[in-house]
Amino acid sequence: MNSSAVVRALGALAQDHRLAAYRLLVQAGPDGMAAGTLAEALEIAPSSLSFHIAQLANAGLVTQRRNGRSILYAADYAAMNALMGFLTENCCGGGVCAPAELVRQTPECC
């Protein structure tokens, strides 16, 4: 995960509706949630949800798949791990901290 991907991921999460949507998806687990359900839960217009969720998807933070007429979105836990790794791996000049250990100890789901 390079700097520009990290900026995109951080920017994707740096908005009320998108952070809320992402957290709903994280809680929803691997099954994910339909776009319409998300829009309803967040109380925003379907087109707004589409606009925001596209940014989360573009940043690689969520995946999408079709199920009948609905499109289900789900959090990508691996991307979250990579983001967290990047934010820690370069700290303290790289010497003192042990980011690899840290990530390894993180449960697979997040």
Partner DNA sequence: CGATCATTTCAACTATTATAGAAATATCGA
Partner DNA sequence: TCGATATTTCTATAATAGTTGAAATGATCG
Contacts to a second copy by CB under 8 A: 3-4, 6-7, 10-11, 13-16, 19-20, 23, 26-27, 29, 77, 80, 84, 87-88, 90-94, 96-98, 101-102, 105-107, 109-110
Neighbouring CB atoms inside 10 A of 68's CB total: 7
2 touches, from a second copy, DNA, none (C-beta below 5 to 8 Å by class): none
Could you tell me if 35 and 74 are in contact, meaning their C-beta atoms sit under 8 angstroms apart?
A: no
How many other β-carbons are positioned within 10 Å of the β-carbon of residue 65? 10
| Residue of the chain from 26, 71, 87, 97 that contacts DNA (CB under 7 A) | 71
Could you tell me if residue 74 is left (phi over 0), alpha (psi between -120 and 50 degrees) or otherwise beta?
beta
Paired tokens of 103? 């990530």
Q: Which of 63, 70, 81, 88 binds DNA (CB under 7 A)?
A: 70
Q: Is 31 in the site for DNA (CB under 7 A)?
A: no
Residue of 29, 51, 100, 110 that binds DNA (CB under 7 A): 51
Q: Which amino acid is at 65?
A: R
Q: How far apart are CA 66 and CA 93, in angstroms?
A: 44
Point out which residues bind DNA (CB under 7 A).
Answer: 11, 15-17, 34-37, 39, 44-55, 64, 66, 68-71
